[in-house]
Structure 1
């Protein structure tokens, strides 16, 4: 049976005051350099990158205080879990490896999937518009879509906080997003909400330190949610701070005690590149194949035989053909 309330790491960014890339690759991400692409460019002021698809390690020039930065997007987190699994490790082990080398977390995102759906996101929006959201945030934003054909709801997203602030919450209807992505009728999708907790800088660092003290993942989620938002039922004769918490919110928070950190490893790497090949190159290759069949030529095979792979493509091939266990430092 699928868990009704689960959490996943959805984004990680952590920096180190060192220029020893080999140390970070071996002791933090535990990935062998032989399987990683090196790019002579980076983001955030870094001059170069070692990457394995969406797992990225940026490095700076000697003397630059930026040191080294490890960054994983949501996709990168799923890919990294493949390597954690191969080493029989968890996210807690990764966090400890980072702290052992004085890593400083500058962004940590947690995604909570709610398949029980304690509430609908449109209902939360109504509560906000009715002044029944008690929050440390000054305002919230929202967006949604409506079908022109029949006026049906296309999904609602509700945001709390500023994207520039150290804490930012996002609540949205994941089933609508997935239905649109895979062109599935919404009626064929089960109820599914997602709540994203995004923490930056000092808030992110404190969250990881707190997490490692308790070794309980639910604590970090509860701290963020309880500290920043509460939905209540309006009572005209009382000040807002004294309003009773709505029952649906009590049920939701109450079940946080059963929240577990889910790992969902993905062994598919460079899917974006393969999709590009399929969508952009495959039709042209088919054209040449059909011409070869009619003309009795071997143009396509000659093209492939004479082609030279770039270093990037050679690394990609190594990953596609390699065994996961061979890519990691145990």
Structure 2
């Protein structure tokens, strides 16, 4: 199930880019990470695969590489077509329902909303139960959407850590409940000034 999230592997050209970014010749870079220049040359040309040991040596020698770019989710919207809001909170988010304020809404074609601490940071929308005219019983229409706004993603990330989960594992759980991802924003903190905004805009367009 976890295979639906694909993560790119480091290639030799990535290693060369990192070395160029550090403004180091092959000999110096290889010496600093504790390998031969010949091995580094083979890695950079793709003739030799990049091992976990190689990456660990590189991060040990240049620990700031791990912080060059920070990525964090900035908005997450997931819809569950066969669940109601209470089920999403309990089974998918695994948060206590009493932490959410229930109220009516007219937003996004839903009629009910559960807002974490009453704020619009973490909230779930679904349909208020209606009365069946024949049986006078409550009828719950299914379908709910979970929203995490910018601040909400930070708060929810803390909840995931308390559950011992990563974002990836949470997304896998959401997929198990047939969640459909309609919005997934990522914020990139460029701590080293590596990115050219004009190039990013051009590539996006």
**TM-score when normalising by structure 2:** 0.56
Residues 160-187 of structure 1, C-alpha deviations (whole Å, 9 max, x = no match): 44xxxxxxxxxxxxxxxxxxxxxxxxxx
Please state if 1:11 is matched with 2:62.
no
Name the counterpart of 2:182: 106
Name the counterpart of 1:86: 162
1:132-147 superposed matches below 5 A: 133=202, 135=203
Of residues 91, 95, 98, the one that matches 1:34 is 98
Question: Size of the alignment, in residue pairs?
Answer: 129
Residues 122-141 of structure 1, C-alpha deviations (whole Å, 9 max, x = no match): xx27x98xxxx5x5xxxxxx
CA contact (8 A) 2:124 2:147 kept: yes
1:227-246 superposed matches below 5 A: none
Tell me how far 1:42 sits from its aligned partner: 4.6
CA contact (8 A) 1:42 1:58 kept: no
Name the counterpart of 2:46: none
1:189-228 superposed matches below 5 A: none
Please state if 1:56 is matched with 2:123.
yes
Q: How far apart, CA to CA, are the structure 2 residues paired with 1:73 and 1:17?
A: 21
Name the counterpart of 2:146: 70
CA contact (8 A) 2:124 2:145 kept: yes
Residues 48-80 of structure 1, C-alpha deviations (whole Å, 9 max, x = no match): 111113101001256898710001111110010
Give the aligned CA root-mean-square deviation in angstroms. 2.6
Q: How far apart, CA to CA, are the structure 1 residues paired with 2:97 and 2:83?
A: 15
Please state if 1:95 is matched with 2:159.
no
Q: 1:13 to 1:22 in 2, by over 3 A?
A: same
1:171-320 superposed matches below 5 A: none
CA contact (8 A) 2:84 2:142 kept: no
Q: 1:66 to 1:45 in 2, by over 3 A?
A: farther
In structure 2, runs of 5+ residues without a counterpart are: 1-63, 130-138
In structure 1, runs of 5+ residues without a counterpart are: 136-159, 162-330
Name the counterpart of 2:85: 21
Residues 79-115 of structure 1, C-alpha deviations (whole Å, 9 max, x = no match): 1011111111111121012111101111111112111
CA contact (8 A) 2:85 2:145 kept: no
Q: How far apart, CA to CA, are the structure 2 residues paired with 1:24 and 1:90?
A: 18
The secondary structure found in structure 2 opposite 1:84 is: helix
Name the counterpart of 1:47: 111
Q: How far apart, CA to CA, are the structure 2 residues paired with 1:96 and 1:119?
A: 30
